[in-house]
Structure 1
Amino acid sequence: MSKSPLIPAGALMLGLLCAGCSSVPYAQRMSERQAAYAAAAGAPVRSFNFFSLYSWEPLSDTELAVYTQPNKAWLLDLGGCQDLLFVNSIGLTSNINQVMVGFDKVLTGRHNFPCTITRIRPIDVKSLKLAQQKQRQIESAARRADKPAASQ
């Protein structure tokens, strides 16, 4: 039984339609996310302990945030990573539970080359969450009462 080519096209159209509903353009949202992570990132380190991957968030083809615990995250700079924004899963190489700059890599799939980690920065997750909350806040004001229309 073969799959219908209309299903992926329909899913793509639905995704584009939903993305078009946002009042903030995609490029601006990505730029704000990158800026928030950069502001929360500390000084570069040579390595970090890695036992399991809790979560991850691609920021571009050259930046990736990885969470090893809910409150422990690292901003990885990569030497360019093909399709990083579109992969469903990633992997990290490590040696004796350590991920090291210049030695370890991000794996994005069977057909893509591994992405070399060029810089690692710890992320202050608390300050990142505060910045993200501020971005979500909206300004509200009471609606002005319009003058009633003149009767004819």
Structure 2
Amino acid sequence: MKPMIPLALLAATLLAGCATGKLGTAEKLALYRDHAGEPVKDFRYLGHLNGWAPIGDSALAVWTKPNEAYLLEFAGRCQDLEYATAISITQFANRVNARFDDVLPVGPGTSSIKIPCRIDTIRPLDVKALRASEKELREASAVERQTKN
């Protein structure tokens, strides 16, 4: 089991990333990991997503319902994920499985050779806590910008 990053240290790191108004990939991944539960072997997927957000080229957040989301981390780099306008997720019997299923980036900004991105781990996200933390970071960033002017 990985040690948890102390919340104060995480907040300081994230606020440092917010100084530019936008979180960097490492800070965003740290935020999502901090709000993710223990790894699960799979999740239910009925063929459509309520939303998705790439986190660099190594992770992806997917919302299966407005208040149900998962952090998917890949076995390696996921080519074209940050430029995709859509994604496709493989599944079997309405279940997406870690270490068996893939994400495929789709869209005009992606390469013509589609390389599947193998899902290494799946972790459920605490959507409510994640949204609250994102709101706090936006507000802190706005206050910091106001004090600089």
TM above 0.5, yes or no, is yes
How far has the Cα of 1:31 moved from its partner?
A: 3.1
How far has the Cα of 1:23 moved from its partner?
A: 6.1
Per-residue CA deviations over 1:5-39 (Å, capped at 9, x if unaligned) read xxxxxxxxxxxxxxxxx96175x433332221111
The alignment partner of 1:42 has SS state of coil
Residue in 1 that maps onto 2:99: 102
Which one has the largest radius of gyration? 1
2:73 paired with 1:77: yes
Unaligned runs of 5+ in 2: 1-17, 107-111
Residue in 1 that maps onto 2:121: 119
- List aligned pairs for 1:14-29, cutoff 5 A: 24=20, 28-29=23-24
For 1:92 and 1:103, the matched residues in 2 are separated by 11
Q: Percent of counterpart pairs with the same letter?
A: 37
For 1:62 and 1:29, the matched residues in 2 are separated by 13
For 1:114 and 1:29, the matched residues in 2 are separated by 25
Q: Number of aligned pairs?
A: 120
For 1:74 and 1:44, the matched residues in 2 are separated by 10
Residue in 2 that maps onto 1:134: 136
Residue in 2 that maps onto 1:47: 42
Query: How large is the RMSD of aligned CA atoms in angstroms?
Result: 2.3
Unaligned runs of 5+ in 1: 1-21, 144-152
Q: 119-128 vs 29-38, which deviates more?
A: 29-38
How far has the Cα of 1:122 moved from its partner?
A: 0.2
